[in-house]
Protein backbone atom coordinates (compact mmCIF):
# COMPACT_ATOMS: atom_id res chain seq x y z
CA UNK A 1 0.00 0.00 0.00
CA UNK A 2 1.55 3.30 -1.08
CA UNK A 3 -1.01 5.61 0.55
CA UNK A 4 -0.81 5.87 4.32
CA UNK A 5 -1.72 7.98 7.35
CA UNK A 6 -0.73 11.63 6.95
CA UNK A 7 -0.97 11.55 3.15
CA UNK A 8 -3.11 14.11 1.35
CA UNK A 9 -5.43 12.75 -1.34
CA UNK A 10 -7.53 14.46 -3.98
CA UNK A 11 -10.96 12.84 -4.22
CA UNK A 12 -12.49 12.51 -7.69
CA UNK A 13 -16.25 12.02 -8.08
CA UNK A 14 -17.67 11.21 -11.53
CA UNK A 15 -14.30 12.09 -13.08
CA UNK A 16 -14.04 15.55 -11.47
CA UNK A 17 -11.80 16.59 -8.57
CA UNK A 18 -14.12 17.64 -5.74
CA UNK A 19 -12.19 17.90 -2.46
CA UNK A 20 -8.97 17.17 -0.62
CA UNK A 21 -8.68 14.86 2.38
CA UNK A 22 -5.97 13.77 4.79
CA UNK A 23 -5.69 10.06 5.54
CA UNK A 24 -5.97 9.87 9.32
CA UNK A 25 -5.83 6.12 9.89
CA UNK A 26 -5.96 2.82 8.00
CA UNK A 27 -7.02 -0.28 9.94
CA UNK A 28 -8.03 -3.78 8.90
CA UNK A 29 -11.72 -4.46 8.43
CA UNK A 30 -13.54 -7.61 9.55
CA UNK A 31 -13.82 -8.65 5.90
CA UNK A 32 -10.52 -10.12 4.61
CA UNK A 33 -8.81 -7.89 2.03
CA UNK A 34 -10.70 -4.76 3.06
CA UNK A 35 -9.49 -1.76 5.07
CA UNK A 36 -11.21 0.95 7.13
CA UNK A 37 -9.82 4.27 5.93
CA UNK A 38 -10.51 7.27 8.16
CA UNK A 39 -10.38 10.50 6.12
CA UNK A 40 -10.53 14.13 7.22
CA UNK A 41 -12.06 16.25 4.43
CA UNK A 42 -10.09 19.49 4.16
CA UNK A 43 -12.98 21.88 3.68
CA UNK A 44 -15.04 24.27 5.76
CA UNK A 45 -16.49 22.86 7.90
CA UNK A 46 -14.13 19.90 8.08
CA UNK A 47 -15.71 16.46 8.17
CA UNK A 48 -14.34 13.07 9.16
CA UNK A 49 -15.55 9.91 7.43
CA UNK A 50 -14.58 6.24 7.39
CA UNK A 51 -14.68 4.39 4.09
CA UNK A 52 -14.21 0.63 3.80
CA UNK A 53 -11.97 0.04 0.76
CA UNK A 54 -9.72 -2.54 -0.85
CA UNK A 55 -5.99 -1.79 -1.08
CA UNK A 56 -6.17 -1.07 -4.82
CA UNK A 57 -8.88 1.55 -4.19
CA UNK A 58 -6.78 3.25 -1.50
CA UNK A 59 -3.89 3.44 -3.98
CA UNK A 60 -5.89 5.11 -6.78
CA UNK A 61 -8.08 2.44 -8.34
CA UNK A 62 -11.60 3.50 -9.28
CA UNK A 63 -14.54 2.22 -7.23
CA UNK A 64 -18.21 3.14 -6.98
CA UNK A 65 -20.25 4.59 -4.16
CA UNK A 66 -24.00 4.70 -4.68
CA UNK A 67 -23.35 3.89 -8.36
CA UNK A 68 -21.05 6.92 -8.85
CA UNK A 69 -17.37 6.43 -9.77
CA UNK A 70 -14.92 7.58 -7.06
CA UNK A 71 -11.13 7.68 -7.10
CA UNK A 72 -8.47 8.75 -4.57
CA UNK A 73 -5.35 10.43 -5.96
CA UNK A 74 -2.38 10.60 -3.58
CA UNK A 75 -0.60 13.95 -3.79
CA UNK A 76 3.18 14.24 -3.46
CA UNK A 77 4.53 15.82 -0.27
CA UNK A 78 4.79 19.61 -0.57
CA UNK A 79 8.49 19.62 0.36
CA UNK A 80 9.38 17.49 -2.65
CA UNK A 81 7.71 19.98 -5.01
CA UNK A 82 9.80 22.99 -4.02
CA UNK A 83 12.98 21.28 -2.91
CA UNK A 84 15.16 22.52 -0.07
CA UNK A 85 15.68 26.28 0.10
CA UNK A 86 19.05 27.57 -1.06
CA UNK A 87 21.19 29.19 1.65
CA UNK A 88 22.01 32.88 1.14
CA UNK A 89 25.49 33.65 -0.17
CA UNK A 90 28.09 34.31 2.53
CA UNK A 91 28.94 37.98 3.19
CA UNK A 92 32.02 39.34 1.48
CA UNK A 93 35.17 39.02 3.59
CA UNK A 94 36.98 41.82 1.73
CA UNK A 95 36.96 45.41 2.93
CA UNK A 96 35.50 48.26 0.91
CA UNK A 97 32.38 48.11 -1.12
CA UNK A 98 30.31 45.00 -1.42
CA UNK A 99 29.97 45.37 -5.16
CA UNK A 100 26.76 47.36 -4.98
CA UNK A 101 28.54 50.59 -5.90
CA UNK A 102 27.45 52.38 -2.71
CA UNK A 103 29.51 54.94 -0.79
CA UNK A 104 29.68 55.30 3.00
CA UNK A 105 29.17 58.86 4.22
CA UNK A 106 30.02 59.75 7.81
CA UNK A 107 27.44 61.88 9.61
CA UNK A 108 29.58 62.37 12.71
CA UNK A 109 31.14 65.64 11.56
CA UNK A 110 27.99 67.20 10.15
CA UNK A 111 26.21 70.00 11.93
CA UNK A 112 22.45 69.92 11.82
CA UNK A 113 20.26 72.91 11.07
CA UNK A 114 18.71 74.52 14.15
CA UNK A 115 14.98 73.90 14.52
According to DSSP, the residues that pair with 40 across neighbouring strands are 22, 48
Amino acid 14: pLDDT: 96
**Whole-structure pTM value:** 0.65
More confident residue, 90 or 29: 29
Pairing mode of beta strands 63-65, 68-74 = antiparallel
CB atoms within 10 A of CB 3: 20
CA distance 51 to 38: 6
pLDDT tens across 31-60, in order?
999 999 999 999 999 999 999 999 999 999
pLDDT value of residue 53 = 96
Q: What is the pLDDT of residues 65-95, one digit of tens each?
A: 999 999 999 998 876 555 666 777 777 665 5
Amino acid sequence: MTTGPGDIVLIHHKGHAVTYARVEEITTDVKPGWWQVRLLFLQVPSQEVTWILREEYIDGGEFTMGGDPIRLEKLPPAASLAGPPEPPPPPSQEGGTSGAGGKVVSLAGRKGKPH
